Each structure stands twice: as C-alpha cells, then as structure tokens.
Amino acid sequence: MIYFIGAGPGDPDLITVKGKRVLESCDVVIYAGSLVSKEHLKCLKEGAKVYNSANMTLDEVIEVFKNNKSKEIVRLHTGDPSIYGAIKEQMDELEKLNIDFEVIPGVSSFVASAAAIKKEFTLPSITQTVILTRVEGRTKVPETEDLENLAKIGASMAIFLSVGMIDKVCKKLKKGYKRDVKVAVVYRASWEDQKIVYGTLDTIAEKVKEEGIEKCAQILVGDFIDCDYEKSKLYDKSFTHMYRKGI
C-alpha cells in the first residue's frame, strides 16, 4: 500500500495522528524536501529507506513505487496533498500499475496562516466564502480565475505560491477590489521562524520586500483581517435551533 500523507504546514505536531502512525510503520518514505520538517523523519523505524523528492522527477518517484510494491510506502507531502500537491499525476500512474493507495489529509498552510494571525475567514455579514488560488507564473491559470476576476467577488482569499510576485498580485487585486484592502503575509506558518507582515494592497509589497520574503509565504487578503461584523446566530440567546430554545 502507498499512502499519500499531508505532513502539515511545518510544525511537526500538526501532522494527523493517523498520518504519524502510518509514517512510523512505513518501510519507504519519499518526502517533499525542505518543505517538510526533518522532525518527521526522526519517527521512522530503523532501516526505513528515505528519498528526497526535491531531486526527483515524476518518473523517478514512480520507479520507487514500482520497485517497492511489496512494502509500505509513504509519499509525504507538505500541508494537505490535495492543494497544489501534484498528487493526481502520481495516483493516475499507480492506477495504471494496479497499485493500491490511500490519501491521508493534512493541515494546509492557509488554515495555519489564519491561526497565526488569529482570524476567521468566514464572518457573518462580511463573507461566507474562502478562495484558494495563486497568481499566474510559469504555471498558467485559467483566464476566468485571474486574480482580478476573483477579487471582484469580495470573498476572503488565501493566495499560494505567489509572494515572489507580490507586486503583480497587488496590482491585479487592486483592479478587482477597486479599493484598498487589508493583507497579511505569513512566512513559514507554524515553523519556529514564522514571520507575519501586515499591510494593505497599497503598502504590503514594500513591507514584504523590506523583510526579504520571497517564497514559502501565504498571502491572506480580505476584510476578515480587520472589520466590524455581525455575531453568529448559532450562539445568539434569542436564536432557536434543534438543541436549544431561544429566549
């Protein structure tokens, strides 16, 4: 069996209990290089073989899978493997080879970043939607998902893999929002060297450059970062639901 496991955003304690249990018993692990804490590798059993996928191609990863079919293999991805994890292309190859696999989810950097700034993406009367996206770089983005178009929705946004193009990000977002909006950039969320930079679409690019942040950062955008909002109905004493009668 091959297990695709989300290692979490960085803090080694943020892997799931199930993910760690499987990791501890595996025979082979292919981990996502510097994006995954080396602390995870300390829990491997003696004799487990370790590969760093930062140096590998897709073909080389699949070759490891093929050559170890009789063993328990962990493909250890950063965050949650379903978000920018490039796992579908691996799973498709495994299906062709009739090799069983399972996906164990993890904590994504976008939720770790929200936790770091102690904010909630979804607030009554502000937004009930979170958009996870990236700006176009070497990897294309569908035209309908251009940041300018997404910003027009006004939802909370978590922007991956884009801090190195922060000027481009802000330019597109300003065209969409048509106003200045709060931004928080979280560098290496949950790691020991985590850093948070606050600003607005008008100021954040310069602040990020001053801090020397060029990669490994989440860009959070939206009114949820600092705004007035309505309290939830769920805990409103006048609100009746199946578990409680309102006053």
pLDDT values of the chain reduced to their tens digit, one per residue, 247 residues: 999 999 999 999 999 999 999 999 999 999 999 899 999 999 999 999 999 999 999 999 999 999 998 999 999 999 999 999 999 999 999 999 999 999 999 999 999 999 999 999 999 999 999 999 999 988 899 999 999 999 999 999 999 999 999 999 999 999 999 999 999 999 999 999 999 999 999 999 999 999 999 999 999 999 999 988 887 767 666 666 666 677 7
Q: Label the pairing between strands 101-104 and 2-6.
A: parallel
- What is the reported pLDDT for 230? 80
- What is the reported pLDDT for 231? 79
Q: What is the DSSP string of the chain?
A: -EEEEE-BSS-GGGS-HHHHHHHHH-SEEEE-GGGS-GGGGGGSPTT-EEEEGGG--HHHHHHHHHHTTTS-EEEEESB-TTTT---HHHHHHHHHTT--EEEE----HHHHHHHHTT--S-BTTTBS-EEEEE--SSS---GGG-HHHHHTT--EEEEES-GGGHHHHHHHHHHHH-S--EEEEEESTTSTT-EEEEEETTTHHHHHHHTT--SSEEEEESGGGS---PPPSTT-TT--BTTB---
- What is the reported pLDDT for 236? 63
- What is the reported pLDDT for 228? 85
- What is the reported pLDDT for 237? 65
Domains of the chain: 2-104 (3.40.1010.10), 109-225 (3.30.950.10)
- What is the reported pLDDT for 143? 92
- What is the reported pLDDT for 103? 98
- What is the reported pLDDT for 229? 80
- What is the reported pLDDT for 232? 76
- What is the reported pLDDT for 204? 98
What tokens appear for 28 in the block? 């082979």
Give the predicted TM-score (pTM) of the model: 0.91
